[in-house]
Amino acid sequence: MSKSVLLVEDEPNIIEAISFLLERDGWTVRIHAEGADAVEAVARVSPDVVILDVMLPGRSGFDILRDLRNQSGTRDLPILMLTARGQTKDRELAESYGVSHFMTKPFSNEEMLGKVRELYAASAVKS
């Protein structure tokens, strides 16, 4: 069975880099570039892991994270947030909403891949 990631990101170069990295590791990667309907995209795709950018057109990644944590079907979904601004207050806000992990851009390929694998493995143990 294939492991799937929903990448909610609007920067083409980051989409390309993360998609390449994960697909090469055997993941099925789906892309969603709009914040406004990202919660619906998660419900539709039903991914194993979500990679969520903070700055999105239409809606903030923080609002999306909060909504996903307030829905029973996505309360325990592994969510890795990405941000170009790694400020403490952003990290604290994400943690208060229940983010699984918070990562600052730029990140290394090894760090990204390792964290996605770790989040998936941890959630597989729970389910």
What is the rounded (10 degree) CA torsion for 91, 96, 98, 103?
0
Residues sharing a CB contact under 8 Å with residue 105, sequence separation 6 or more, in sequence order? 14, 82, 83, 84
Number of structural domains in the chain = 1
Nearest to 5 by CA among 37, 24, 31, 40: 31
pLDDT attached to residue 127: 67
pLDDT attached to residue 95: 96
Q: Write out the residue range of the structural domain in which residue 77 sits.
A: 3-126
Alpha helices, H only, 1-127:
12-24, 38-45, 61-69, 88-96, 109-126
pLDDT attached to residue 96: 97
pLDDT attached to residue 124: 86
Indicate which CATH number applies to the domain containing 62: 3.40.50.2300
* pLDDT tens-digit profile, the chain (127 residues): 689 999 999 999 999 999 999 999 999 999 999 999 999 999 999 999 999 999 999 999 999 999 999 999 999 999 999 998 878 999 999 999 999 999 999 999 999 999 999 999 999 887 6
Check residue 74 and report its DSSP letter: G
Identity of residue 107: F
